Amino acid sequence: MPTYETIKVNLFLIRYKDTWNLNSKEYLHAVMFIDLIQYDVIVVGGGHAGTEAAAAAARVGAETLLVSQKIETIGALSCNPSLGGVGKGQLVKEVDALDGLCGRAGDWAGIHFSILNRRKGPAVWGPRAQLDRQRYREFIQSELLSTPRLTVLEGSVEELFVSEPNPEEPGHHRVTGIRLANGSHPISASSVVLTTGTFLSGSLFMGQSKSPGGRIGDAPSSAGLSHTLRERLGLRTGRLRTGTPPRIVKDSVDLSLANVHPPDSHPTPFSFLNTHTHCKPEEQLPCYLTYTTPGVERVVRESLHLNCHIQEDAKGPRYCPSIESRVLRFPGRRHQVWLEPEGVTSDILYPQGLSMTMPPDVQLRLIREIPAMHRAEIHTPGYGVQYDFVCPTQLSPALQVKSTQGLFLAGQINGTTGYEEAAAQGLWAGVNAARCALSRPTVALSRTESYIGVLIDDLVSRGVTEPYRMFTSRAEFRTSLRPDNADLRLTLKGFEEVGCVSIVRYQEAVRVRDSLQDALATLQALALSTQNWRKKLPDMRMSEVKNSLLTGMDVLRYNDVSFEMLASAFPECLSHHMEFSQRLKIEAVYRPHCNLQKKEIERIQKEENMSLPQDINYLTLPVSLSHEVREILDRVRPTTLGAATRLQGMTPAAIIHLFNYVRRTGQKERRSHRNKPDQREERKYLDIFIEVKQ
């Protein structure tokens, strides 16, 4: 446990954080001091995953240390200056609902807000914002500094300490702490969260040159960590690649040759706590849209022999590909290039869609083939990165390495791409690292209740073959998992069961839930005949005449009826719910569909409640399973019966045999505790006949 003095140092830093200089002596003092003590949780890496992990661990109640190579890059947006989008916006809303940082940081730093997919239905709306890089970083850093129980330390991790496992828990190793590169003392911790991004054996590519590193301008991470993961812990790794575009000098671009793309006139904040964004509506900056030309394709083809990155065979994403792979895969087409602002005072534009790895002089030639950039100058050239990831099927749904007690991984190290995917995993890994350190059981999110659950379940039960990105089409229950209801889905649970949500946010969510329930009950109780509805709402087109009464909910479902119309028709009982008019309309439209999904959701949740022992030897398990099924189970080691049923190649019979086995062993254990087996409890798991691919 940290001493009183350490906390005092932290408080000191908090108090003076406005005038706090990152390189000041006070800061260095803190670094020297904390070297001597022990933490509950150490988080390695200060990107989107690391910052969320550290903040979440501290919120849960763990004494937490965040170690980052460079304090000043904590919270940096390494690639695109934007947050959210279709699918990704849902993740931001969910991270916010669990009291994470990125939603509020986005509201603070956003300079261009828009809801994508506005005309396609609220379930797939994609809240998105362009960000001011500097403001975003500042917000994250100041949040971390004001988080109690959290200490930030600059340093590069040289070694991960592991020891014999705790015999009462599954696993072959136990993590005990880290050692920094500068040779200082070991720092011990019960849990360690690794969020090393692209730094694990990372290499940077530009033209024909290749150098070690995970991001330009930063030192490469030590080989020691990578060695420990692979050799000492025996983790399987793979290699992926990504890239970033050159940054363009804003003044050198002829923006009159691009199409202006304005933001929403009323910016919608990401966070459920915010009613408005920091940026005023009229102060928002536009984006610009332009297109590639045949000249771009020509330059790519002519410079292929100078481009190592493209020739290497590490797996890159099919989405967010480099301009090289775009023109090679779809020749003869024009491709979109978005020119995005990097900040209010920034003189740089970010050309979304022009990620490239050719030599800098060719990069310049290429961008000048685009009319709006015919005289453009490059501020920083683009480059490619190849890096190791740990095959995520080796993780539990708590994002803990199954073989190593206390070791958690989040972000790109798990084979994902994107800030939002990283933040979501970071938060969840941080929560569980803290719970683990505080001897509380780990928790899992179901794919039936959140995109975070979909993300983690996809990762740990299916693994990745290319950088994983979230799409709404990955969520089979997306009409239930909407951006508008993330608070109801997660905030209450986050407070009551997980412990990562503040009381203030919880109380707000309770207020919202109660008001919505009240309003929905009122709407349901409003039952009128078709004729009476027509009198009340003359503007409504109600073609069919029904004999039965229609409730307010039924009517609100009509396309041309808004809650505002109902509230003005029934001001006495509905007008005080105007605050939630949009949410009520969405709820009315989706509720019948969500009710249809409910049974399916409950079935999956039941299966997920039935855990499979982690120490099962599937190859020798004395039940009748085919060799193929045994191998699949042994490779993936699903943590629940639900996860097992979703594996490719499982059969209904195999599931039943597994079910019987688990039930039998469970009974034996219960008998040894001299308790009678609870038959009802068993029957809860009867719906074991699951959609199984044959």
Partner 1 sequence: MYFQVGLADAETIFALSSGHGRCGVAVVRASGPASSTALRCMTRLTRNLPPPRKALLRSITDPQSKEVLDRGLVFWFPAPHSFTGEDSVEFHIHGGPAVITAVLHALGSVPGMRPAEAGEFTRRAFQAGKLGLTEVEGLGDLIHAETEAQRRQALRQMSGDLGRLYQDWSHKLKRCLAHVEAFIDFSEDELIEDGVLNQVDTWVCDLQAEIERHLQDERRGERLRTGVQVVIAGAANAGKSSLLNTLCQRPAAIVSPIAGTTRDIVETALDIGGFPVLLSDTAGLRESPDLVEREGVRRARERVDQADLTLVVVDCAHLPSDAEQAATFLEGHLRSVLSPQEQSLLVLNKTDLLPEEQRLELDWELRRVSGLPPVCHISCHTNEGLQDFLAVLHRSVKTLCGDPLSCAPTLTQARHRAHLQQCFAALAQYQRYRDIDLALAAEGVRLALTSLGRITGHVGAEEILDIIFKDFCIGK
Residues that bind partner 1 (CB under 8 A): 85-87, 116-117, 119-124, 126, 318-321, 326, 329-330, 333-336, 338, 352-353, 462, 471-474, 476, 478-479, 559, 589-590, 593, 599-600, 603, 623-624, 626-627, 651-654, 656-657, 660, 679, 683, 686-687, 689-694
Q: How many CB atoms lie within 10 A of CB 208?
A: 13
Show the CA angle centred on residue 194, arms to residues 188 and 198, nearest 5°.
Answer: 145
- Least Å distance between CB 461 and partner 1? 12
Give 50 or 126: the residue with its C-beta nearer to partner 1.
Answer: 126
Alpha-carbon distance 351 to 82, whole Å? 12
Give the pair of three-digit tokens for residue 123: 């379930």
Contact 57, 193 (CB under 8 A): yes
Tell me the closest approach of the beta carbon of residue 50 to partner 1, in angstroms: 25
- How does DSSP assign 595-628, residue by residue? HHHHHHHHHHHHHHHSBPPTT--TTT-SS---HH
Q: By the 8 A CB rule, do 306 and 365 touch? A: no
CB-wise, 336 or 507, nearer to partner 1? 336
Query: Least CB distance from residue 21 to partner 1, whole Å?
Result: 38
d(CA 497, CA 489): 12
List Cα–Cα distances, 627 to 39, 223, 614, in angstroms. Answer: 45, 38, 19
The residue among 476 and 518 lying less far from partner 1, judged by its C-beta, is 476
In eight-state DSSP terms, residue 197 is G
Q: How far is the CB of 686 from partner 1 (least distance, A)?
A: 5
DSSP string, 573-584: HHGGGGGGHHHH
In the complex, least distance from residue 628 CB atom to partner 1, rounded to whole angstroms: 8
CB neighbour list of residue 605: distance below 8 Å, 6 or more residues apart: 446, 448, 642
Nearest distance from residue 122's CB to partner 1, in Å? Answer: 8
Q: What's the rounded Cα separation, in Å, for the pair 533 and 555?
A: 8
Q: Long-range CB contacts (< 8 A, 24+ apart) of 367-370?
A: 367/246, 367/248, 369/292, 369/293, 369/295, 369/296, 369/298, 369/299, 370/290, 370/291, 370/292, 370/293, 370/296, 370/337
Nearer to partner 1, 80 or 303 (CB): 80
Report in angstroms how near the CB of residue 91 gets to partner 1 at its nearest. 14
Nearest to partner 1 of 188, 325 (CB atom): 325
Please report, to the nearest 10 degrees, the dihedral formed by the alpha carbons of residues 54, 59, 61, 66 taken in order. Answer: 20
CB 682 to partner 1: min, Å: 9
Nearer to partner 1, 194 or 320 (CB): 320
Nearer to partner 1 by Cβ, of 31 and 621: the residue is 621
- The number of helices, as runs of H, and strands, as runs of E, in the chain is 25, 23
Minimum distance, C-beta of residue 185 to partner 1, in the bound complex (Å)? 46
To the nearest whole angstrom, how small is the minimum distance from the Cβ of residue 193 to partner 1? 28
Nearer to partner 1, 312 or 476 (CB): 476
The residue among 118 and 576 lying less far from partner 1, judged by its C-beta, is 118
For partner 1, the closer CB: 64 or 357: 357
**Rounded to the nearest whole angstrom, what is the least distance from the CB of residue 486 to partner 1 in the complex?**
16
With respect to partner 1, which residue has the nearer C-beta, 45 or 463?
Answer: 463
Residues 132, 112: contact at Cβ < 8 Å? Answer: no
Q: What is the CA radius of gyration of the chain?
A: 27
Distances 94 to 50, 107, 483 between C-alpha atoms, Å = 17, 15, 8
